[in-house]
């Protein structure tokens, strides 16, 4: 007999979110003939790559016990920069965009580290401020890419697989290995699980957090650039509400907000679950309004199940 509790709580070889992913895949394959086509599946991968990249970095930050609400704004700024700076050459524009993301992440991390202010507050402020920066920079205009190499990149494929999907999957693999195999990954868990103990064990927790904020900043900027290549343009409002989707995906993937617990494989499952749900409901012609409600309900349901499993193991007063 499979130990059901371990199975559901992700202790066994398969995480609950993947059960969910498989279930919704089977469900939608019955509701639409086109759902299981290769074209649609790669389409889902491309659609999810933006949120997916954000979620990779967010997983690290959340395992750290922090949160980053500014990813959507950073994404928007990087997208605008990568299109707006193209007069200086494509390489300069893309590098500047990604550097901006890393610098903004470093700024977030530095503020959290040096001031001790809660990451929620710091990145909430950053979210408002960076969105302000976008408007200052773009003067509320949309930018259109003049360089066709840029917009072609977003639509290019290697064999049958879109480049964007390959980039996303490669990043996922790298981030998984870093989290599982390197000292930085171990420290990330240690800092999120018990900061006091991590500090006593000689881990430089401030530096660890700052690196993770830089990682999420990098991925936000990368996602912004890739989104801009997809559209061949950028708008000042790009990335609005993305932080909500990202956090939803990461939490669905089993990463704890309290820190010290989570995985990239779970996050990949969470991202795919959201992507498949949106795509599948779209194909069933469920109005977009209902999708918002359904996703909210699913998120809360997953939380309740998660809570029920954890409650059994800790009897007594719950804080």
Partner 1 sequence: MASAEHVKQGFMLSKKHKAGLLNFLSAQGILVFFLICMFAFSLFSEQFLSQSNIMTVVRQASIIGIIAVGVTVVIIGGNLDLSVGSMLSFATVLVVDLHDKIGPIGAILVMFALTLMLGAVNGFLVGFMRLNSLIVTLAMLSATQGLVLIYSGGQNVDIANQSETWFSVFGRGYLLGIAVPVIIFALLAIIVQVVMSITGYGRRIFAIGGNPVAAVYSGIRKNWCVFSTYLISAFCVACAALVLGSRVMGSQNNVGQGYELLVLAGIILGGTSLLGGAGSIWKTVIGVLILGFIQNGLLLLGYPYYTQWLVTWVIIILAVWLDLANKRKRLLTRHS
Pick 186 or 207: Cβ nearer partner 1: 207
In this chain, which stretch among 127-135, 155-163, 169-177, 264-272 interacts with partner 1, using CB under 8 A? 127-135
The burial of 90, by beta-carbon neighbours within 10 Å (0-12 exposed, 13-18 middle, 19 or more buried), is given as: middle
**Is residue 111 within the footprint of partner 1 (CB under 8 A)?**
yes
In this chain, which stretch among 20-28, 86-94, 164-172, 285-293 interacts with partner 1, using CB under 8 A? 285-293
**Is residue 60 within the footprint of partner 1 (CB under 8 A)?**
no
In this chain, which stretch among 16-24, 26-34, 161-169, 204-212 interacts with partner 1, using CB under 8 A? 204-212
Instruction: Tell how strand 157-158 and strand 233-234 pair up.
Output: unpaired
- For residues 218 and 205, what is the distance between their CA atoms, to the nearest angstrom? 20
Among 195, 232, 253, 270, binds partner 1 (CB under 8 A): 195
Cα 231 vs. chain centroid, distance in angstroms?
20
Report the sign of the C-alpha dihedral through residues 15, 20, 23, 24, in that order: negative
**Is residue 160 within the footprint of partner 1 (CB under 8 A)?**
no
**Is residue 126 within the footprint of partner 1 (CB under 8 A)?**
yes
Place of tokens 């599982």: 180
- For residues 274 and 244, what is the distance between their CA atoms, to the nearest angstrom? 12
In this chain, which stretch among 6-14, 81-89, 112-120, 171-179 interacts with partner 1, using CB under 8 A? 112-120
Place of tokens 């007999």: 1
Query: In residues, how long is the chain?
Result: 319
User: E strands along 85-226, which residues?
Assistant: 143-144, 157-158, 161-162
**Is residue 124 within the footprint of partner 1 (CB under 8 A)?**
yes
Minimal distance in Å, beta carbon 266 to partner 1? Answer: 15
**Is residue 193 within the footprint of partner 1 (CB under 8 A)?**
no
Q: Which two tokens stand for residue 121?
A: 């507050």
Beta-carbon-side half-sphere exposure of residue 260 (alpha carbons within 13 Å): 10
- For residues 167 and 133, what is the distance between their CA atoms, to the nearest angstrom? 28
Among 34, 88, 120, 144, binds partner 1 (CB under 8 A): 120
Pick 53 or 73: Cβ nearer partner 1: 73
**Is residue 3 within the footprint of partner 1 (CB under 8 A)?**
no
Among 248, 263, 265, 279, binds partner 1 (CB under 8 A): 248
Q: Which two tokens stand for residue 93?
A: 């524009």
Binding site for partner 1 (CB under 8 A): 67, 111-118, 120-122, 124-136, 140, 195-196, 199, 204-207, 209, 244, 247-248, 251, 257-258, 287-297, 299-300, 303-304, 307, 311, 317-319
């Amino acid at each position: 007999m499979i130990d059901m509790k371990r199975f559901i709580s992700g202790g066994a070889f398969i995480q609950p979110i993947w059960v969910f992913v498989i279930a919704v895949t089977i469900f939608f394959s019955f509701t639409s003939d086109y759902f299981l086509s290769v074209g649609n599946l790669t389409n889902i991968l491309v659609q999810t790559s933006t949120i997916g990249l954000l979620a990779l970095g967010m997983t690290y930050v959340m395992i750290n016990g922090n949160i980053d609400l500014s990813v959507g704004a950073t994404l928007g700024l990087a997208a605008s920069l990568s299109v707006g700076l193209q007069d200086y050459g494509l390489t300069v524009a893309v590098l500047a965009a990604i550097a901006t993301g890393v610098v903004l992440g470093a700024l977030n991390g530095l503020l959290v580290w040096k001031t001790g202010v809660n990451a929620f507050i710091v990145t909430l402020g950053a979210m408002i401020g960076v969105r302000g920066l976008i408007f200052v920079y773009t003067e509320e205009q949309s930018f259109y890419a003049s360089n066709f190499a840029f917009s072609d990149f977003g639509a290019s494929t290697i064999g049958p697989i879109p480049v964007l999907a390959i980039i996303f999957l490669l990043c996922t693999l790298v981030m998984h290995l870093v989290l599982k195999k390197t000292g930085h990954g171990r420290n990330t868990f240690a800092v999120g699980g018990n900061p006091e103990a991590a500090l006593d064990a000689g881990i430089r927790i401030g530096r660890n957090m700052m690196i993770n904020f830089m990682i999420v900043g990098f991925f936000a900027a990368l996602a912004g650039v890739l989104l801009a290549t997809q559209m061949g343009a950028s708008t000042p409002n790009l990335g609005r509400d993305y932080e909500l989707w990202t956090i939803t995906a990461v939490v669905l993937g089993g990463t704890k907000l309290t820190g010290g617990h989570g995985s990239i494989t779970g996050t990949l499952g969470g991202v795919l679950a959201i992507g498949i749900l949106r795509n599948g409901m779209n194909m069933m012609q469920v109005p977009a309004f209902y999708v918002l409600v359904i996703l909210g309900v699913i998120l809360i349901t997953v939380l309740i199940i998660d809570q029920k499993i954890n409650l059994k193991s800790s009897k007594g007063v719950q804080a």
